[in-house]
Chains A and B, each alone.
Chain A
Amino acid sequence: MTTTSAALRPRLLGRTAVNTVVGVCVLYTLLPVLWLVLAATKNRDALFSSELLSLGDFSFFANLGELFAMDGGLFSRWYGNSLLYAVLGAALGALISVACGYAFDKYAFRHKEKLFGVVLAAVMVPQTVLALPLYLMASGVGLVNTFWAVFLPVLFNPFGVYLGRIFSQGYVPDEVLEAARIDGAGELATYFRVALRMLGPGLVTIFLFQLTAIWNNFFLPMVMLSDQDLYPLSLGLYTWNSSATVSPEYYPVVVMGSLLAVLPLILAFMMLQRFWRSGLTAGAVK
C-alpha cells in the first residue's frame, strides 16, 4: 500500500497544478455567493456603482428593514409559505416514498418489477407536461389558487421510492424481519418500530432531496397560484425581480431576499451532514 501511494503521488509540479485547478473551481462556486452577501450590505446607489468592497456604505440593516416592509410585509408571508410547503411536504413525502421503497424491497408479489418500472418511468416525465392537466384537475375540484394545489403534487417523489428500495436493501437485513416474525410481531409494527429506525439516514437523505426540490419549485406555483399571499419565495422573488425592471427600488430588496432565501437549505445541509453524506454515497454507488 505504501509503495503504491508513493508511486501514485505525482511530482511537486503536478501537485501544485492539481491544487490550482481545484482552487479555481472553488472560487468559481464561492464568489457568486460572496457577491450576494456583499451586495446585500449595499444601498441602491452603491449597488449600481459596482463598488462592492468600499466600506463607506453599510446598509445591511436598512435593506433588511426595507425587505420586510415592502408591499405590506409580503416577504415574511412568502417565507412562511415556503417553509410550510417544503418542510411539511418533504417530511410527509419522504415517509410515503420510504414506506413504498421498503415494501418493494421486502415483499414479493406478482408483476413487482413491472410496477417498479412504472415508478422509474415517472422519474423521467417532465413537470411541465403534468402542469396543465394538474391545473385543469385542480380547477375542476376548486383547488386552484389554494395551499393544496401546490402541496399535494409535490408529495409525489418516485425517485425517493427508488432510493428507498436501495436504502432498504442496504440498511435493513432480511434476518431482522425474520427474527421479528418469529417473535410474532405484526408486519406493520415491525416496519414502524424496527425497520424505519434503521432506515433513518436514508430517510434524511430523501427528505433533503425533496426539501431542495420543493424549495426550488417554481413552475407549479406559477401555474396554480394567483393570490400573492400564497406564493412561495421563488415565485415571489421572481415577481419582484420583474418589478425591478420598471422600479429600481426593488433591486436591493430582491438581493436581500435572495440571501435570506438561501439560508434554510444551507442550514439544513449543514445540520444533517452526517446523514446525507452516507445516504448520497449509498444512492450513487449502486
Chain B
Amino acid sequence: MGNVVSRCAQNLRNALRTCSKKRPEDEAMLSVCDSEPLDKCQEPLFDTSRTGVHHGAGSGSRSGSCSSLARLQDKMEVVDCKILPSTPRTSVRRSTPRRSTHSSKGCQHVEHSESRGQSQDRSFVDQESQTNAVDSDPPEAACQEAVLSKEYIVKTYSIQNATPSPATQAKFPPSPLPPHQEQVWLGSASSTSSPLVNLERRQEDVLKRLEHLQASVSKLAQQYQVTEAPAVGSVAQQTARIAPVSAGVQSQSKPQVTTDKVLDLVISVNPASIPFSLLILCEQLSKQYVILKSTFVHSSASAIVPERLKNLLNSNGGVKRGDSQIAISIVWKKIANGPELVVDPSRQTPIQGEVNVARYLARLLNPAWDQADIIKATQVDDLLDTAQLQILEGNSKEKAAAVRTLNSTLGKRDWLIGTEPSIADFCCWSALQQTGQASSSPANVKKWLNLCSQHQLFETVRGLLS
C-alpha cells in the first residue's frame, strides 16, 4: 500500500516539475508534493535517514535503526506530512517493531526500551524535519496512548493516526476488519479504535487527497500547457529491473555499483571485535562483483593487531584497482563505536555499527532490498536491531533476553529468516560470537550455530574464531 502512495507522490512531483510558472496559490497547493523525503532521495549518496543508520554523532551505533517502520512511515509521510501542514501533529515516533514479536512476555522490557527509544526518536525527528514537528499532543492522542501504551508499535501508529481531519472521520466510519496477516504480525490490536483501522482509513484519505491533487495538477498543466516529462518514464524503465516502484530519484539514494568508476568503501574496524557478518557479506559481494579487497593497519592500532588479521581481506594482486567495481578496504583502527563505513567523505557522515554497515552491504547485494518484500525486510531489520542493540551493546539481562528470543524463533525453523542463511543469521551469529555467548546458548540456538558453522558461507570466518 505504501508503494501506491509513494508512486502517486512521485507522479505528482514529476508533473509539478514541468510547471515552469506558478501562481502563489497553486504553489501552496502543490508544495505538498514537494516533500522533504523525496528531496532527500536526490542526495547522490544514499539516504541515511531512510535506512535509519545515521543518528548524528555519538548515538550512531546505538541507534540501531527502526528502518523497517521508517520505511512504512516514510512512505506515508511523504504524502501526509505536507498535505495537512496546518493540522496539529504529534512528532512522529519511530521504533522497531521488534517489541511486538514478544509482546505479552516482555512487558517490562518494552517499557524500558521505550523510554530510550523515545528520546532517540525525538532527536531523530528533529534532525530530519523541522517543518512538521509540532509537539502538542491533542487529547485524542494522549488518550489512545494511554490505552495502548503496552504495545509500542501500536502506539506509534495510533499517535500518528490521532489527528485525521474531521472530514475523513465523517467519511470513513471505523470498520473492525483489519487484514488478517497484519493483525497477526502486530499482535494484540483488536478493538474498534484499532490503529490498523485508523491506518487504513488514513491511507484511503491520503489516496483521495492525492487523486484530488493529481486532478489539480493536470488542470494546472493544461492551463500552462506543459507536456508530461518524457524522462520520467525512461528513467523508470531503466531502473525498473531492480526497483520496479522507484523512479530515477530514488535509485540515486541507494548504494549502487556503476561501471565507470570504482565504488570505494572504507570500513574502519576495531581489532578487539571482528565484525564477522561484514566479512561474510564481503565474500558474497565478491561473487557478484569484481572486488578489490585490501586490509590496512592504522597507526593507532599497529601494536594491537594480531598477525593473522593483518591480511584478512586480500585480493593478492589478482585484481587491479582500475578493473574493479568495488574496492573494500578494512582498516584496523582504535575506534570507539564499532565498525565505521565511509564512502564519500564530502557528502556523508560515517555509518557506525556492524549491522548498519551490514545493511549497506546487503543493499549492494540486492538493490531491491526495500522494495521486494517489506514484511521480510522488516523482520530482518528487527533481528539486526536485536543483534546490535541487545546482543552487542545490551547489558547482561538484555543479552539473555535476546538469546531467548532467538531460541524461540529458531524452534520453528532452521534459519532466522527464510530457508537460507541471510544477513540476519550473519549478524546474529557474529554478535553471539563476539560477545562469547556461543558456548552457553540454549538448545535451538546451539543447533543453529552448528548449522551455521557447517554452512559454506561461514567458511571464511570460521577460521577466525579462536
Partners in one complex: no
Q: Could you list which residues of chain B lie within 8 angstroms of chain A, going by C-beta atoms? A: none
